[in-house]
Amino acid sequence: MLSDKNGIALDPAVLLENAGIGQRIVDLEPDLCFFTQGGPADSVFYLLSGRAKLLVVSDKGKQATITLLSPGDVFGEESLATVPRVRLATAMAVNTCAALKVAKEDMLRILHEEPAFADQFLSCLLARSTRIQADLVDQILNSSEKRLARMLLLMAESRKPNEGKTFIPPITQETLAEMVGTTRSRVSFFMNRFRNLGLIEYKDRIQVHKSRLRTVLVEQFEETYL
């Protein structure tokens, strides 16, 4: 939730409506797209609920997930460039999602007219940029087992940070494998290992014991960005 300089909560949907911008809520089921790579970049999205991901596809059809999106994340900001642009990635729903869609012209206007909103908008983009940089380091330097553990922890943290354990959004092992950059069989092996170590529980849904998983990651890998 955004807040102003006095710490008063700002609801982005209400703020945009009060600024004279009509709300358009986009609801998507899993695996449907808010926009696709190469399409016209003419709007910005604010994720209200659910989880989404940004992914890119090469000319040869190879697919890679750039980052996961959580409620409160802004995406599609390439549309704000001064020259006409196309989408650089695809934004796809991981589970049932809702997002506020704002036309480029309306977003530019409110960024100029609402300093508190503009400050928080920039903060959101910088936070996501930092997260993507950490994800890149993770992909280059770390094992697939650690990448999976970190991915589960990030998904759990985005839900209820103050709880010791929490369910992550419904997600298949195939999707986890794609995000981690490994095979489904390896994900299945690691998930069973994590469960045997008491780091997660899962039947129909995956429940992460966040403090245990975080401790194992720090002790075994000595990383500081989790």
The pLDDT, as a whole number, for residue 139 is 67
DSSP code per residue over 82-116: SS--B-SSEEEESSSEEEEEEEHHHHHHHHHH-HH
Q: Which domain holds residue 167?
A: 142-221
The pLDDT, as a whole number, for residue 40 is 92
Domain check: are 104 and 160 in the same one?
no
Mean of pLDDT values over 109-134: 80
Question: In this structure, what DSSP letter does residue 30 have?
Answer: T
Domain check: are 132 and 147 in the same one?
no
Q: Which amino acid is at 140?
A: I
The pLDDT, as a whole number, for residue 170 is 77
For the chain, give the percent of residues with pLDDT over 70. 79
Domain check: are 78 and 94 in the same one?
yes
Is position 163 within any domain? yes
Domain check: are 206 and 103 in the same one?
no
Domain check: are 26 and 129 in the same one?
yes
Domain count, the chain: 2
Q: Choose among 112, 111, 142, 122: nearest CA to 220.
A: 142
Domain check: are 133 and 147 in the same one?
no
Residue that finishes a domain, picked among 81, 104, 138 = 138
pLDDT top residue among 6 and 53: 53
Domain check: are 51 and 83 in the same one?
yes
Is position 226 within any domain? no
The highest-confidence range among 51-60, 112-121, 175-184, by mean pLDDT, is: 51-60
25-47 pLDDT, tens digit each: 899 998 899 999 999 999 999 89
Domain check: are 113 and 133 in the same one?
yes
Is position 189 within any domain? yes
Residue that finishes a domain, picked among 120, 138, 156 = 138
The pLDDT, as a whole number, for residue 7 is 46
Contact 64, 27 (CB under 8 A): no
55-79 pLDDT, tens digit each: 898 888 888 788 888 888 889 998 9
Domain check: are 217 and 108 in the same one?
no
Taking residue 82's Cβ as centre, other Cβ atoms within 10 Å add up to: 6
125-147 pLDDT, tens digit each: 887 787 777 777 766 667 888 88
Domain check: are 146 and 43 in the same one?
no
**Beta strands at 74-75 and 165-167: parallel, antiparallel or unpaired:** unpaired
Contact 85, 78 (CB under 8 A): yes
Domain check: are 82 and 152 in the same one?
no
151-183 pLDDT, tens digit each: 888 888 765 445 556 888 778 888 888 778 888
Q: What is the pTM of this model?
A: 0.70
Q: What CATH code is carried by the domain that includes residue 25?
A: 2.60.120.10
Contact 53, 45 (CB under 8 A): no
Is position 205 within any domain? yes
The pLDDT, as a whole number, for residue 84 is 66
Cα torsion at 137, 141, 142, 144 (round to 10°)? Answer: 90
Domain check: are 64 and 171 in the same one?
no
